[in-house]
Amino acid sequence: MSTQELIFIILLGLSFGSFLNVVIYRLPRGESLLIPSSHCPKCRKPLKWYHNIPILSYLFLRGRCAYCGEKISLQYPLVELLTSALLLSLYVKYKPLYGWLSFGFLSFFVLILIAVFFIDLKHKEIPDLLTFSLILAGWLFSLTGKNPLGLTLKESLISSFSGMGLLFFINEVYYLFTKRDGIGMGDFKLMGGLGAYLGYQSFYNLLLFASLIGVISFVVYQIYSKFIKKVSFSSEDPLKREIPFGPLLSLSALIYLFNPKSLL
Ligand SMILES: [Zn+2]
């Protein structure tokens, strides 16, 4: 692994992260991903190429639009850095042993999950385009025989459907006790995609991680809003809010990808 290779992957990750920012903003709003070119969401002025360089432009513009001075969300450089860091880790962990094709399919998995994480967190929905691509890519991946987890096409197919079935079952149980749905349709399809890539062997870990992260972030959020931001919950019971299951599942899938079978 040469230095040039690593630099190439870092830059590749930054550019994919930049594209993910477009996906995260436009896909849930039903806008085209390609046209028009990037513009400021406030003043709608099209950005120049040098306003679009990952990280650097954000620092250079000090986090504000070059035209109207509107604050640019910290999420933009964050997504770029995160994407780059994850692709680099994937490359170091999987490319030497499993080759470029494997790295490509796994990168696609990571990119989709980053998009799902941020879109579901904000809009509480997961676009079908993302979940269906994930499912299809997972099946195709196992067909190539290059999945590091050793999944065959048959296992990948079975895992997709059992993943969706499992969440459906959990939702039914949840409904039985609370008389409302806790898990959305997007989550079922997402679990299908995770099954296609990671196999049903991962389900135990995925759900365990997701619940753990869910509980921890709930507690942290409670403390934050009670003692730091002082938001009052009197009008609304926080437990009655929908569970953001997509982000939790995406996060646990990423943990599993880098550390498979860790808790079994
Ligand atoms: Zn502007």
Report long-range pairs for 138-144 (Cβ below 8 Å, ≥24 apart): 138/109, 138/193, 138/195, 138/196, 138/197, 139/196, 140/105, 141/105, 141/196, 141/197, 142/196, 144/101, 144/105
Question: Do residues 190 and 126 touch, judged by C-beta distance below 8 A?
Answer: yes
Q: How far apart are CA 128 and CA 124, in angstroms?
A: 13
Q: What is the pLDDT of residue 242?
A: 63
E strand or H helix that includes residue 158: helix 153-178
CA of 145 to the centre of ligand 1 (A): 48
What is the tens place of the pLDDT at every residue in 106-134? 999 999 999 999 999 999 899 999 999 99
Count of the separate structural domains present in the chain: 1
Residue 145 within any structural domain of the chain? yes
Task: For residue 63, report the distance from its CA to the centre of ligand 1, in Å.
Answer: 11
* pLDDT averaged over every residue in the chain: 90
C-alpha of residue 76 to centroid of ligand 1, in Å:
15
Cα separation, 23 vs 17, whole angstroms: 10
The Å distance, Cα 41 to ligand 1 centre, comes to 7
Residue 200, in any domain of the structure? yes
Q: What is the pLDDT of residues 26-50, one digit of tens each?
A: 999 999 888 888 888 889 898 888 9
Q: What is the predicted pLDDT for the residue at 262?
A: 56
Could you tell me the distance, in angstroms and rounded to a whole number, from the CA of residue 38 to the centre of ligand 1?
Answer: 11
Query: How many Cα atoms within 13 Å fall on the side-chain side of residue 261?
Result: 5
Position 186 in a domain: yes
In eight-state DSSP terms, residue 170 is: H
Domain for residue 59, yes or no? Answer: no
Residue 62 covered by a domain: no
Question: Is the residue at 95 inside a domain?
Answer: no
- What mean pLDDT is predicted for residues 198-224? 90
CB 192 within 8 A of CB 135: yes
Interval between CA 54 and ligand 1 midpoint (Å): 17
Instruction: Name the residue among 120, 89, 107 with its Cα closest to residue 248.
Output: 120
| pLDDT for res 175 | 87
- pTM flag (> 0.85): yes
- What's the CA-to-centroid distance between 28 and ligand 1, angstroms? 21
Å from CA of 45 to ligand 1 middle: 6
Q: How far is the CA of 119 from the centre of ligand 1 (A)?
A: 22
Range 88-105 average pLDDT: 95
Cα 111 to averaged position of ligand 1 atoms, centre (Å): 27
Cα–ligand 1 centroid distance for 51 (angstroms): 11
The mean pLDDT of 191-212, rounded to a whole number, is: 94
Q: Report the C-alpha gap between 32 and 258 in whole angstroms.
A: 33
From the CA of 71, how far away is ligand 1's center (Å)? 8
Ligand 1 geometric centre to CA of 78 (Å): 20
Please write the tens of the pLDDT for every residue from 231-264. 555 445 544 556 688 999 999 999 999 988 655 4
From ligand 1's centre to the CA of 77, what distance in Å? 17
Centre of ligand 1 to C-alpha 43, Å, is 4
Q: Is residue 210 part of a domain?
A: yes
Q: What is the pLDDT of residue 6?
A: 95
Q: Is the pLDDT of residue 98 over 60?
A: yes
State the pLDDT at residue 234: 47
Alpha carbon of 69 to ligand 1 centroid (Å): 6
Residue 67 Cα to ligand 1 midpoint, Å, equals 5
SS3 content of the chain, % helix, strand, coil (to 5): 70, 0, 30
Say whether pLDDT at 154 is over 60. Answer: yes
Residue 78 token pair: 């964050």
CA 61 / ligand 1 centre spacing (Å): 12
Q: Shortest CA distance to 14 belongs to which of 66, 82, 100, 116?
A: 82
The 10 Å CB-count burial string (b at 16+, else e) for 138-159 is bbebbeeebbebebebebbbbb
Ligand 1: centre distance to CA 52 (Å): 13
| 174 lies in some domain | yes
Range of the domain at 137: 124-264
